[in-house]
Amino acid sequence: MLAHSEAFSLQGSLALVTGGGTGIGRAITDALVKAGARVAVAGRRREPLEETAAVYPSKVFAYTYDVTQEQEAGNFLKRIQSELGTPTILVNNAGIHLKKKAEEVTAEEFRKVLDTHIVGAHALTAASIPLMRQAGGGSILYIASMASLFGIPYVVAYAAAKSAMLGVIRTLAVEYGRENIRVNAIAPGWIETEMSRKAMEGDPERKRKVLGRTPLGRFGSPEDIGWAAVYLCSPAARFITGTCLAVDGGISIGF
């Protein structure tokens, strides 16, 4: 039986978090470190990664990496392994947004969103699995969305990518469960970040509508996603795989 101190501890674990320097990714990084993990944060912009690493010396390590350069995923994982050790936690968080009418979305724009959220994430997942296998298991976490759970207008490419994640996690969970590799997702609701604040600026009706549909009646914080990530990656969730956890204040079941 797990002791309480062990159940939610990530002591001794190494995690890789894409997009780990800002927003929800930064909150996930913060929570993983507080739970005892070391974290490699990866992203295209070096500055926020280094700022995050500076807060946690010898705990967080900054790596410049573009997830759409999927051919580099194997070499990137080998570099992390040689410099830090074997990552047994992978958080596929990096993503881009595209908001426009479906009929106006070009094939190139659609592919770009899929390449970031699905193809690029899969490349890192595929490169991580052999390392996790050698380590005796691991946890892979995808950051999905409300758009994975219900229809949202003007985000057809984003919704396609985030919905695809649910099929991905179920397939991987079944395929690699016997090797002690768990695969789950988190679907954040309306979380108060710089991006969401900009989306709400000058649109009080939209804010009213969102809060009206959220049973808890408020926005979530990035920290809410961070601690959910810790849970799903921790021994406490050792019998959970193939699941998408909605951390959304109830909006996905609200009316």
169 in Cβ contact with 185 (< 8 Å): yes
Q: Which of 141, 87, 96, 86 has its CA nearest to residue 116? A: 96
CA distances for 203 relative to 57, 93, 178, 217, angstroms = 41, 27, 49, 17
68 in Cβ contact with 120 (< 8 Å): yes
Three-class SS state of 35: coil
184: number of Cβ within 10 Å? 25
Backbone φ and ψ for 174, nearest 5 degrees, come out as: -70, -40
Backbone φ and ψ for 143, nearest 5 degrees, come out as: -95, 105
C-alpha span between 44 and 28 (Å, rounded)? 18
Q: What positions carry a catalytic annotation?
A: 158
Q: Which of 68, 59, 64 has its CA nearest to residue 46? A: 64
